[in-house]
Structure 1
Amino acid sequence: MKTLPLCFIVFLFQAIYAIDGNLTLVMVHALWRHGDRTPTETYHNDKFTVDYWKYGGGGWGQLTPIGMKQHMILGRKIRDRYINGHPYNFLKPQYDQQEVFVRATDKNRTLLSAASNMIGMYSAREGENFNRPGYDFPEESGWPVGYVPIPIHTIDDAGDHLLDVDNACPLQDTVWELAKTTSIVSNYFNSENVTALMRNLTNFCGEDINPENLWILFNALKIEKQYFPEVFQNFTPWYTDALWEQIDIVNSQVQDFQNGLGLEGVVVKGIDIGRTLRKIRGGTLVNDIYNRMNRKAECLINTSQECAYTNNLKFFAYSAHDTTLYALFSLLDVAHFAVQPRGYPLYSACVLIEQWQDLNTNKTYFKWCNFDILKGSSSTSSIFASILVFLFSFVFIR
């Protein structure tokens, strides 16, 4: 049992009291990372050029068949939880466009992850017959039997400040530059271990490697070793497990800094650096979820036509990136609790936010728990979390 601040303990007692009452599930928000992908880019001396990446249509940053499978499995787990009665009969067995809305960033890997997820949720497998030919899919030779296409919504990536937390933002850039002037970040970036590592990597890679672009090398090496183990060492003779461990440690720390972690209470020019970075990166998404849930709460006691859409909507999914989940976890101060092992959420990591209503009082309640849905290597591992939040204050129980 993790030690809780007093305010969280009070909320825990209130949540237990509510659960003992007449509680019903009214809304679910899902946020997941895309599945396994090819590298989004690489370094100058890399022998694994774009020609090596044929998966998912070919090219940089594309969802692989492994990633498609990961999200199909995740979709089946979500179906099992909310449709098949393990533990909830919440959504209809067939896709209902009034109940479900899916939004992705404007990237192939998140769009196809969402499509793969919906296959898991709503396309029947062999031996299943919950879908209706002629209603849910066409009775036409060549159409995959039981496959139900689900619309995936998106907006232009340049204007997506909801799910792309690294999108162009002058304020975030300004605050991050201030963060780098603090003794915490500056001392770390300029420490002997970090500077020596950057010098060595710059020499190996044939281009400047610094703490802020280290993630590119980190991702490229990780994926290349996974997909081409037979030739990886020959192509990358300078690679060692010890060197990889150093890269992983530094990259993880830089990501923490960029999300405001470790900078709590650090003030520069009147700006609380840690708090402001966390709000900039995760605040828009939290506001979006809060506003939709607040509207849901208001409409639960209003059956007028203006509330028809909200009352019918039960499942809202965001298909996004590891940075999106980490920004949310950082803002809510659960990053290190929710992300295992070191670093960002793994492929197809998913968080669910469930909104419950006490029918006796009409109040809504939430709580937090998490568990793994898949076992295996890091390429197929996944975090499947159910979050039920009470007034966006978290109760941590282990």
Structure 2
Amino acid sequence: MVSTAGLLLVALASVCGRVAAERQLVYATVLFRHGDRSPVKAFPTDPYKEDAWPQGFGQLSQEGMRQHYELGQFLRTRYKNFLNESYHRHEVLVRSTDYDRTLMSAEANLAGLYPPKGRQMFRPGLKWQPIPVHTVPQSEERLLSFPLGDCPRYKQLMNETEHTAEFLNVTTAYQDLIELVINKTGLKKASVETVWSVYDTLFCESRHNMSAPDWVTPDVMDQLRFLKDFGFQVIFGVYKQQEKSRLQGGLLLGEIVKNLTKMAVPDPKQQLKLMMLSAHDTTVAALQASLNVFNGKQPPYASCHIIELYREENGATSVSMFFRNDSSVNPYPLQLPGCALDCPLEDFVRITKPSIADDRDKECQLSSQERDRKVILILALSVCLLVVLIAIILGVICRHKESSSNRGYHHVINQEES
């Protein structure tokens, strides 16, 4: 006789097999931050200048290369039954910002995802093959680099954010720390929004076994870490988060939603399966803020936000999201607020729509009232400067006349004396 436990196992296996057969992965987008790097810059009193780093400032380290090679291997395992084992140019599209560290991260990642075999090995013993990574000049980047600085309304929102109670309270609470940083680093000024750069430099140096200055205690690093994370929250949230998203991360979210909608329609000619995006911590934070799933902390090196599109047996489609911010554990699922973990595509589109601008350029413009106020202010300043300039010119003319008159008088006297 078959035991009850055995019957349960058979039934469970049958159900699991049926579920697996019913839900099929059809498309995935992975957005990741570059790997470990050198600091972007050093503060004036920092003993470690650019020549202390093998490739200079802002460059991917050997550790960063290893991190992305490992992430590529993870993606190979995750998608082993989805992607071809060997590289197929129609299956994957890779896009990166135009920075050395993001381009190199993408390349290291692809080395782990598509180790060549057989005919794809162009040199015996070399487990690597060239795979294209696409980019655009930094000046033209509008998809993967945030915050974009071409939006007057966003600048206005940031100014308003700096006057919120939360921002002012944090500024007051950490004023002593900010003054300490200014005194010890040789910086002329620092603020809640800019002090992150000091933390970043110290953090990079500590990861590469460089000694910290005496004033950098564990407590100071903890406080700097808090301000660094708060800086991310300020950029994309704290105040009017959804409107900020429409002007920043919503650009990327809109492109992702457009692709999901397109891929949901069965098309035998469609071969693209994976969109790979190599970018920055601010890119990951901007996207997650626009999805309202940002945890308020800086995304770590090689962290990866995964968005997968599934098709059910009845033809319906759903979206699942995951975040991999620790290579020692499996990615944890992200739930879009207001939807299930496996979110029906139509609900995903509906819920994310308020974070996506229909005409971002139009929304970036200031209202007519704000523009009028700005014009009046500019005119008033111009008039004041003009008045000051005229006063200076008149003063110079008067002094010149007076000087000329005095010189003429003395000249006559000299003539008479002569």
For normalisation by structure 1, the TM-score amounts to: 0.76
Say yes or no: does 1:356 pair with 2:348.
Answer: no
Say if 2:101 is the partner of 1:119.
no
Aligned to 2:381: none
Match of 2:218 in 1: 241
Decide which of 170, 178, 200 is 1:188's aligned counterpart: 170
**1:1-398 pair list within 5 angstroms:** 22-54=22-54, 58-83=55-80, 89-124=81-116, 131-133=117-119, 136-138=120-122, 140=123, 145-171=126-152, 172-189=154-171, 191=172, 193-207=173-187, 208-229=189-210, 232-233=211-212, 236-260=213-237, 262-263=238-239, 273-298=240-265, 300=266, 302-303=267-268, 308=269, 311-336=270-295, 343-360=297-314, 362-370=315-323, 374-375=327-328, 384=331, 389-390=343-344, 391-392=347-348
Decide whether aligned partners of structure 1 residues 331 and 174 sit closer, same or farther in structure 2, where only a CA change above 3 A counts.
same
Change (3 A) 1:383 1:327: farther
- What is the number of residues matched between the two proteins? 323
Contact 1:180-1:186 within 8 A present in 2 as well: yes
CA distance in 1, matches of 2:245, 2:257: 16
Contact 2:24 2:310 in 1 (8 A): yes
Amino acid at match of 2:51: D
Deviations 1:55-97 (A, max 9, x none): xxx11110011000000011001001101xxxxx111111000
Is the contact between residue 232 and residue 285 of structure 2 (CA under 8 Å) also seen in structure 1?
Answer: no
Structure 2: runs of 5+ lacking an equivalent: 1-15, 335-341, 353-418
Structure richer in helix, relative to its length: 2
What does the per-residue CA deviation read over 1:159-193, in whole Å, with 9 as the maximum and x for residues that have no partner? 1121101232233222211211223323332x1x3
Q: Match of 2:412?
A: none
Task: Give the Cα separation in 2 of the matches to 1:321 and 1:383.
Answer: 21
- 109-118 vs 243-252, greater mean Cα deviation: 243-252
* Higher gyration radius (CA): 2
Residue 371 of structure 1 and its aligned partner are, at CA, apart by 5.6
Q: Is the 8 A contact 2:26 2:273 kept in 1?
A: yes
Q: Which has the higher contact order (CA 8 A, sep 6+)?
A: 1
- Cα deviation for residue 281 of structure 1 reads 2.4
Please state how far the C-alpha of 1:144 moved relative to its aligned partner: 5.2
Q: Which residue does 2:406 correspond to in 1?
A: none
Q: Secondary structure at the match of 2:193?
A: coil
What code does the residue aligned with 1:151 have?
P
- The whole-number CA distance in structure 2 between the counterparts of 1:385 and 1:100 is 24
Unpaired runs of 5+ residues, structure 1, are 1-15, 84-88, 125-130, 264-272, 376-381
Q: Using the alignment, how far apart are the partners of 1:99 and 1:50 within structure 2?
A: 40
